[in-house]
Amino acid sequence: MNTEESPRFTPNYFVNRVFSEEEEKSLSEYLLRASKHHHGLTSKETRVLAYEYAVRNKKKFPSGWNETKSATYDWLYGFMKRNPSLSIHSPEATSLSRSTSFNKTNVAAFFGNLKQVHEQHKYQAGRIFNVDETGLMTVQKPPKVISAKGVKQIGQITSAERGVLVTMVGCINAQGNSIPPLLVFPRVNFKEHMLHGSPPGTVGVAKPSGWITKDLFLQWMDHFIQHASSSKENPTLLLLDNHESHCSIAAIDKARDAGITLLSFPPHCSHKLQPLDRTVYGPLKTFYNAACDSWMLRNPGKRVKFDFDLRRYF
């Protein structure tokens, strides 16, 4: 056979595509931005993200995706071929002191982004918010007490040896106002009595682990949109950290539809930059522990119960 007349076969990476060219471009740009900020997604995380993206946009995809809650390696291979700007690298272990900590470069980049967003939307102080989570335990941290000089170790009664974790999602704005908190109770089912005595407007949800998740953060966003009256006509700026519960396709879409601009702090810098960490949660824990200790003194032999006592202390 004449080699010049032989047909040439080339792989077709565009057959049965799940996403459109525009959708894949958006996904590619997101991956590049994440990598630029030293939070590059692994192949597994990228496949999970693709699955969430497909479900969110009601795309037709192979049934196997539902079984693993992620796209297949074949899809990832084709996606990488169609987007040559992407490649899989073994990332350099960037030290905390050089890249992911509180330093001039990271802080300058954050405030540069903040300035750009502020100049674009001209936010008033009351439209700039910060959200963050903190854990409240039913076992308080004992305060310092007076004892005999020279004693190396003293004891102090606490509610129990091992505590129960309740996560609180708090939110404040630059004007000094706050959004009612959301409490994540370590239970399978939420009961209304768990919120008895809590601040007005508090939302309660249940999760066996007591931790915030992507789905629960979406519930909080609905709560935030309602209380902040956020919309495209009345936009808000929401500052938050890079916790995985904040980084979902559904959260990004919900924020865009409600006129919310999401701006994250540099990794491992929230203890220096985040207003809630700097000014709210420290005093909250101090007064919370003091309230628990006072209750223990007035109720000897009893334990603090998360679903009856804890929510009253903050």
User: What is the percent of the chain where pLDDT is above 90?
Assistant: 34
116 lies in the same domain as 252: yes
- pLDDT bin (cut points 50, 70, 90) of residue 38 is low
The pLDDT tens digits for 81-133 are 998 888 876 544 444 444 457 788 888 888 998 999 899 999 999 999 999 99
Say if 137 falls within a structural domain. Answer: yes
Q: What is the pLDDT of residue 161?
A: 39
Least confident of 34-48, 140-154, 179-193, 203-217: 140-154
Co-location of 38 and 132 in the same domain: no
Q: Is the pLDDT of residue 160 over 50?
A: no
Q: Please report whether residue 106 resides in a domain.
A: no
Residues 75, 124, single domain; the answer is: no
Query: Mean per-residue pLDDT for 161-174?
Result: 81
Q: Are 74 and 185 in a shared domain?
A: no
- The rounded distance, in Å, linking the Cα atoms of 179 and 177 is 7
Nearest to 125 by CA among 280, 314, 275: 275
Same domain flag for 66 and 128: no
Let me know whether 32 and 126 are in one domain.
no
Q: How far apart are CA 59 and CA 51, in angstroms?
A: 10
Looking at the domain assignment, is residue 99 inside a domain?
A: no
Position with higher pLDDT, 100 vs 182: 182
What pLDDT is recorded for position 29?
87
The pLDDT of residue 9 is above 50: no
Provide the 10 A C-beta neighbour count for residue 59: 16
- The answer to whether position 121 is within a domain reads yes
> pLDDT higher for 102 or 16?
102
Q: What is the pLDDT of residues 210-259, one digit of tens each?
A: 889 989 999 999 999 999 999 999 999 999 987 878 877 788 889 989 99
Length in residues, the chain: 314
Domain that holds residue 296: 111-143+158-312
More confident residue, 305 or 294: 294
CB burial string 101-124: b at 16+ within 10 A, e below:
beeeebeeebeeebeebeeeeebe
pLDDT at residue 163 is higher than 80:
no
The structure tokens listed for 45 are 């995380």
Instruction: Name the domain count of the chain.
Output: 2
- Contact (CB, 8 A) for 132 and 282: no
Is residue 275 predicted with pLDDT exceeding 60?
A: yes
Long-range contacts of 12-21, Cβ-Cβ distance < 8 Å, separation of 24 or more: 13/78, 13/81, 13/82, 14/82, 17/78, 18/50, 18/54, 18/59, 18/60, 18/61, 18/71, 18/75, 19/50, 19/53, 19/54, 19/57, 19/59
Predicted pLDDT of residue 233 = 95
Whether residue 183 sits in one domain with residue 75: no
- Write down the residue that tokens 């009961």 correspond to: 191
CATH of the domain at 226: 3.30.420.10
Answer whether residue 30 is part of any domain: yes
pLDDT value for 199? 85
Question: Does 151 fall in a domain?
Answer: no
Q: How much is the pLDDT for 146?
A: 41
β-bridge partners, 229? none
DSSP label of 83: -
Residues 255 and 165 occupy one common structural domain: yes
pLDDT(144) > 60: no
What is the average pLDDT value for the chain, to the nearest integer?
Answer: 79
Looking at residues 143-152, what average pLDDT do you find? 42
